[in-house]
Chain A
Amino acid sequence: MKRRIPLLIVLITGIFGAVAFFVPNPVIRSADETMRNDVQRIIAAFSLVLGVGSIVQHHLLKIKRKAQFWPYSYITIIALAITAVIGVFGGIDVSRPGLLPTRIGSFSFHIQTIYSNMMVPLAATMFSLLAFFMSSAAYRAFRARNLEATLLLLAAFILMLGAVPLGRMIHKQLPAFAEWILAVPNTASKRGILFGVELGVFATSLKIILGIERGWLGGGK
């Protein structure tokens, strides 16, 4: 029963979702709209509660067991609590204050201030590390070992030069050639890959709706 009910829900909602996409009947459309605007949002709200509960539980357990790097769990929980309280009660920015006094003199800590001054630099720092890893990898691993690798290397060179104004200085047609590589050979190969991926997605979706693929239920079988 524990497995049959979820499987039945997936079967009914899966078939209904697919049918509603193609059938313009007003009754079906109206039911579909209710499903999307109300039911899905309620489920999403529950998943938010589940997500917050899960992260808090995970970190409290880490603190309790003094697991590896447990002091960082305090930072996660404190950051989560402060951001949530300011986000809900603190207002968006100086011009749109909330219920909480989120301003001390000229210093404000509204949600937009926290976002722009903490979230943005932290995320940008993490992402910018990629450039350093890429350059190191390019130096160590990007070798013209065989014909395929040489072709890849040449294409990468043309695209990199075409992507910066220097390419035009080297040859007027270089950016156009880079554009051609992306628009013709790249598109041809990408389309092939996309067809394969979409057919795979379709087959997997069908297997889940019909209950053949049950991995999502947990337990692996």
Chain B
Amino acid sequence: MSTERENILIRLQKIDRRWIYLVLWLVVMFPLIFPFKIKPKPTPPVEQLFNYIDTMPENKALAISVDFTPDTRAELQPMVVALLRHAFAIRRRVGILAISVYGLGLGEEAIQQVTGEFNAHARTHEDSVIYGEDYVFWGWTTPILTVMLGMGERITNVFPVDYYGNRTESLPIMKEIKNYDDIGILITVAASAIPRSWINYAQVQFGVNLSCGITAVSAADFYPYVNSGQFIGMLAGMKGAAEYEQLVRQRMEKNGMEWALRNRGTEAMSSQTAAHLAIMAFIVLGNIAYFATRRKRK
């Protein structure tokens, strides 16, 4: 019996990796098809960012820099969507830009989705979200130093034309957003070290308030900046997105916007929970097999 058990453990040590892939695939897929309800409780960094935007003066705009690429879309796009919903729900002006050229398509996707949601429910012209008045998509330009430093002087100099080819000078919103002084907070959503550049150039030189939305694996890199107050809160990974979605949903319901919108971050939490548990189980199983066979080798 004992030898039989040892044989199983040895076989476990040498298991074909394709079985591990199959288990993980099932564990990720199953909750996506049959989701179980999870409502994440907001953590302090997420609450800090939400409260800051929620209480931002009316004459200040929210700027979102879409600094990620499509590979991290699942994790980061829900953040952009939730931030846009929050800004429009409390009627704050929004400016969107992309530091990476890949961010253009992702920014456009989020804008189309959220403006579509708000305009579909609008009853009057005032309820609508209008391009050039309530929001602007500045687009992309290079190099990043030009953008980060130039926006502190005059945004229309950095982006003479917007993503759709309009002269930015001609847009009514640009009379209200001239430079960083008119931006309440700039949130960089990224999967790289770009948030650090925003601190080095935009914040150090012009004192603009910053925050970031980043992938879960990068969270540890940015905690020092949250603790020092250089970032006002932070959204870390799918969990951060899901927590922000919950806060925005509550805010929208309070404002009478009970629209039953899809929250992609929250929906994916069940799958992420299952995947985390599976990986933990793999680690435990791997260690049991390792220690059992090591004892035998000794």
Contact = CB atoms under 8 A, between A and B. Distances in A.
B17 interface: yes
Contacts of B119: none
Given A21-B205, A120-B73, A143 B290 contact: yes
A55 B271 CA distance: 39
Contact of A163 (B41, B109, B276): B276
A138 interface: yes
Contact of B239 (A33, A136, A163): A163
Contact of A138 (B21, B164, B279): B279
Interface in B136-165: 141-143, 145-146, 149-150, 153, 157-158, 163-164
Interface residues of A, number: 52
Interface string B95-123: 00000001001101100100000000000
Contact of A120 (B70, B142, B158, B227): B70
A139 B290 CA distance: 10
A27 interface: no
A131 to B, nearest CB: 6
A144 B73 contact: no
Contact of B224 (A140, A143, A190): A190
Given A44-B143, A165-B269, A131 B70 contact: no
Interface residues of B, number: 63
Contacts of B216: 163
Given A123-B71, A160-B280, A182 B220 contact: yes
Given A140-B286, A144-B287, A186-B220, A124 B279 contact: no
Contacts of B105: 111-112, 115-116, 119-120
Contacts of A144: 287
B259 interface: no
Prevailing SS type, chain B contact patch: helix
A41 B146 contact: yes
A124 B70 contact: yes
Contacts of B285: 139
A180 B214 CA distance: 19
Contacts of B48: none
Contact of B278 (A36, A135, A157): A135
A40 interface: yes
A96 interface: yes
Given A112-B105, A163-B216, A166-B273, A183 B223 contact: yes
B273 A139 contact: no
B128 interface: no
Nearest to B237: A163
A127 B70 CA distance: 9
6 contacts: A37-B146, A41-B143, A161-B280, A164-B239, A175-B43, A190-B224
Given A41-B142, A127-B71, A160-B279, 8 more contacts: A36-B145, A37-B158, A40-B143, A92-B163, A96-B164, A139-B285, A165-B39, A182-B220
